Structure 1
């Protein structure tokens, strides 16, 4: 596999849940949905060389999905429950905005996690980086599983508040 195909595959793997949700919002039949999503995946891989690496991948992939959904809808044009082009464009815009918001939230999350220290950072690293369950963490840190679970909940609340605050500050600017 060449490097371009490898990069395209990596990017597609990360974008696929958002693109799949977009396709599912416009294509109601699950068999057709799978076919459209496969066509999107093929189109993304085939046109990856035209992708500008300086722009976000998910909106670019949703743009390709929008065209594939449009082709599907034109083929199904006589179906009264099919969206028109304007409705699909609105859905694409909404998914693009959501993808950008999630991208920003992930950036904020990384910064908020970076601000954790001491036991909070250790607990988060053990739970999410090392994928350990509370019982395993508890035995390692000489805690009870219940206290680990409660501490993780408090840390998640703290991270959620940090992300919310950063989002609010970003909206003000």
Structure 2
């Protein structure tokens, strides 16, 4: 750390690489969730980087590092405690509409409305929407299939989507 403070980047990199496994093990000992462990390690490394100027080379490095690590781990545990105090586990019994069949009628109405709107589009726009959006052809495949240029297909699709939004727009919709 003393060499890192003196500006030796390579020494600083080696130091961080050497302490990371120790920090990971230390955090894992106190924190159960693996992603929280990694977050804690990153937080510790960032803190070390920020306060590296406070290290006194006349004193041992280990206690300085351990103090920073323990304080950051405690911060993570406090955050977990605060967030878990306000959260309750959600299970299937808490779902209002847990059955996927609950909205089938509305979906059928929406699909029919969309099909009808697509049928009212001009032929070029209707073909572009069918090939590119419904059949999921690439621009090149759709161009080869109907003879329109790629640019024409893009324009037709854009205009069709705009027109479909206008046709399907519900009263009170801002989009």
TM bracket, shorter-chain basis: 0.3 to 0.5
- Report the TM-score, using the length of structure 1 for normalisation: 0.40
Higher relative contact order structure (alpha carbons within 8 Å, sequence separation ≥ 6) = 1
Q: Which has the higher helix share?
A: 1
Structure with greater Cα Rg: 2
